[in-house]
Amino acid sequence: MNHSSNLLDEALGFNRESSQASITPGRIVLIEDCVETSGAFVLHHLLKRALSPPLSSGVVLFVALANPFSHYDRILRKQGCNLATLRENGRFLFFDMLKLDCPDGIEGVVELFHKIQKTVKVCSSPEYNRSDITIMIDDISLMEVATHGSSNYVLDLLHYCHTLTSEIGCSLVLLSHSDIYSSMTAPSLMLQIEHLTDVVIKTDPLATGLATDVHGQLTVLNKEIVDEHGTLKNRIHNFHFKVKENSVEYFYPGSCN
């Protein structure tokens, strides 16, 4: 298994020296993608980082609204991570929410939260004593669809997940699409989420058009990083990527081989 860090890991502050392999507990990460450039590979990358031994012994609680288990299993297997085994070991907890539908109100969302809360409580209980819990939601816009367009319910759910991050120290990874909101109606949902999050990872197509060697660009924003002078800073990393068969290459603009 290849654990050499790449530009994305560096941008997210993962490195081997500090033995930090996954997202800092309590942090909230938003992956914002668009139609031309899917951000799913970033989610897969974070999933792998959170699960891969020996660097991590974390638990991932995966709320899937977009794809069935077999989809993620196939992708992660190519990257050297066996989700089926991890699922049996109780480290990958897959919530199949493909059929989630809450037509009349909030019950479905509350039920989903209860499920998440219960699982997190069990994982963090002395019996299992897993401190490293990551909740992943793929994706927010489908959750909005499930609630029949009520973004308030989605925000309520996210708020409750936020309380879990501060109570138990879970981290939260969200995937959402930036281009499905017209500027008039509901930029508010994305704005609300952006106010909540600590890290935003955005995928965009190349501004100069399609290219065979470069599939798009990534912008990683880390909010409130303390720099060497003790000042709080927002740090932005910007680089290009190329999605390959079983890995992703990250490089600075112009330095592609």
Partner 1 sequence: MAETICRALRDGALEGEHAPALTIKDTLSIPFGFHAFTHFLCNLSSNILSAKSQSQCLVLVTFSKSPSFYYDLLKSKGIDVQMTKNWLRILDCYSDPLGWKDGGSVDLVPNEIEKICKNVRDLDKLLSSILELGKGVVGQGKSRFSVAVDSVSGMLRHASVSSVANLISNLRSHGQISCVFWLIHSDLHEGRATAVLEYMSSVVASLEPIVAIGEKGSSENIFSLEQNSGKGKFNVRIKRRNGRVKAMSEEFHVERSGIKFMVISSGNGVVNKTLVPKVQFNLQLSDKELADRENVVLPFEHQGNGKDVEIYDGRRSLSVGQYDLGTPVMTTEKLHTKTDQGKGEIHYLRDSDDEHPDSDEDPDDDLDI
Contact positions toward partner 1, by CB under 8 A? 32, 110, 113-114, 117, 152, 155-156, 159-160, 163, 166-167, 178, 183, 187-188, 190-192, 194-195, 200, 202, 219, 221, 223, 226, 230-236
Neighbours of 102 (CB within 10 A): 18
Nearer to partner 1 by Cβ, of 15 and 188: the residue is 188
What one-character DSSP code corresponds to residue 24? P
Which residues face 135 on adjacent strands?
61, 172
Cα–Cα dist 239/88, whole Å: 37
Neighbours of 152 (CB within 10 A): 15
Nearer to partner 1 by Cβ, of 90 and 187: the residue is 187
Nearest distance, CB of residue 49 and partner 1, angstroms: 23
Nearest distance, CB of residue 93 and partner 1, angstroms: 20
Nearer to partner 1 by Cβ, of 31 and 86: the residue is 31
Nearer to partner 1 by Cβ, of 10 and 156: the residue is 156
SS3 26: coil
Cα–Cα dist 218/222, whole Å: 13
Per the CB < 8 A criterion, the answer to whether 244 and 256 are in contact is no
Nearest distance, CB of residue 57 and partner 1, angstroms: 24
Nearest distance, CB of residue 210 and partner 1, angstroms: 22
